[in-house]
A = this chain, B = another copy of it.
């Protein structure tokens, strides 16, 4: 029985070694890291050319590929999951073509020199959880509408109106309709305009008072004036506050089962 290395590293491979290892790795859907000097060209939704330089190329199990320069958060070139690979020789150099079918896009990487190549069998079943998103804020407000204002009753969730989807919809203490637009970060003009369009759309269909409340941790500069002139309200609400409410609620629910 042969026990295969889960992580294989080849330093300074020659072109044929690299070619063979890469073809094998891709056919087996392994994760591959390549570091070397290369030129890159891309044609598809746009086109790009990248001159010679040292880069890190990461090919993943799902057929995605990333080309990273030594600086910057974003990859300089890439291809999303599910693309097809073709590894071949371009003269004396190793070349990788990654082709996406729809939309048709082609990424070509030509290596002048490969410093190292690694083929890896990685196991990753870890759960990822992100807290305090806009969705969480919505849930927290539904659980406890009083964080917006006393007497508020929420009657609809993601109501469809003409310009799009309303985040939250309800009735206030005095029976007026309330439209709520939620932003998890500083709300700008766009958020106000969005809310204004929703309110306008409902006003044209209903013979009742309609209020619009923008809910966000903060307003961008100059936006307050805009809100006032459009007759809309603002309610400060921090995503962290919402996370706490959700947490408490979950604990409570759990305790309901426990006791």
Contact = CB atoms under 8 A, between A and B. Distances in A.
A5 B78 CA distance: 28
A110 to B, nearest CB: 12
Contact of A45 (B6, B9, B185): B185
A122 interface: yes
A68 interface: yes
A128 B76 contact: yes
A127 B41 CA distance: 12
Interface of A: 6-7, 9, 11, 31, 33, 35, 39, 45-56, 58, 60-62, 64, 66, 68-73, 76, 78, 80-81, 115-116, 118, 120, 122-133, 163, 184-185, 189, 239, 243
A116 B73 CA distance: 22
A131 B80 CA distance: 20
Given A52-B126, A53-B124, A126-B52, A64 B72 contact: yes
A70 B11 contact: no
B120 A35 contact: yes
Contacts of A130: 46-48
Query: Copies per complex?
Result: 2
Which A-B residue pairs are the 9 nearest by beta carbons? A53-B124, A51-B126, A53-B126, A54-B122, A7-B115, A62-B71, A70-B122, A47-B131, A48-B130
A46 B49 CA distance: 36
A61 B56 contact: no
A124 B70 contact: yes
